[in-house]
């Protein structure tokens, strides 16, 4: 704006590939997370959140699909996994395997603070999951700024997750919200938006 005297236009990148269309009733009533095994992703926080959700009586699981980036962080997560049969870590899946695994779940979680965009939560949402994200950075826009999906800490996240798990009407409403949001990140939406931007310069 300062240099060119125009406002910038945001064009969201498309989520690549296709996710299996798994009916909600056939999905695992648990959480999936996707991303690098790195301290910035704060996967220990995801475990702490679901520890609290389980403490409140909700029998949920967590599957972390990761790519090794920090061996020390993986060791710490494996130590957490050793005492939690509901927590599993899957490393270096193929794209097809990742898509199938994500689509098996009902819910997603992303704990990184100030993520620039967050392709992982966009992928999880694209697969039809209700994804809870930290209230910062690009993931806030990915979930459409819906306060029910944004958290600031462990207790706040647990409060919001438990509310959804215990209230079928809230869950159904969020599923409709996800169905609308996921269309924003298709290849078709990207191409159409790009054409509109280019046409403005013609």
Burial of 76 (0-12, 13-18, 19+ CB in 10 A): middle
Termini Cα distance of the chain: 21
pTM of the model: 0.92
DSSP for 82-117, written as a single string: HT-TTEEEEES--HHHHHHHHHTEEEEEE--SS-SS
Q: pLDDT tens, 98-132?
A: 999 999 999 999 999 999 888 999 999 999 999 99
Q: What is the largest CA-CA distance in the chain?
A: 61
Q: pLDDT tens, 156-199?
A: 999 999 999 999 999 999 999 999 998 888 889 899 999 998 88
């Amino acid at each position: 704006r300062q240099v060119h005297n125009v406002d910038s236009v945001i064009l969201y990148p498309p989520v690549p590939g296709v996710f299996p269309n798994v009916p909600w009733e056939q999905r695992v009533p648990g959480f999936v997370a996707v991303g690098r095994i790195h301290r910035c992703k704060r996967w220990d926080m995801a475990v702490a959140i679901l520890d609290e959700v389980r403490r409140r009586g909700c029998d949920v699981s967590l599957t972390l699909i990761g790519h090794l980036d920090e061996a020390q962080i993986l060791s710490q997560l494996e130590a957490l996994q050793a005492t939690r049969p509901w927590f599993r870590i899957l490393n270096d899946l193929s794209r097809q395997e990742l898509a199938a695994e994500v689509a098996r779940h009902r819910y997603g979680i992303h704990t990184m603070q100030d993520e620039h965009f967050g392709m992982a939560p966009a992928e999880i949402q694209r697969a039809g999951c209700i994804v809870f994200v930290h209230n910062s950075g690009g993931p806030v826009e990915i979930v459409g700024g819906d306060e029910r999906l944004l958290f600031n800490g462990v207790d706040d996240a647990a409060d919001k997750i438990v509310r959804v798990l215990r209230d079928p009407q809230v869950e159904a409403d969020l599923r409709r919200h996800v169905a609308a949001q996921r269309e924003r990140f298709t290849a078709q939406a990207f191409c159409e938006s790009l054409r509109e931007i280019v046409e403005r310069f013609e």
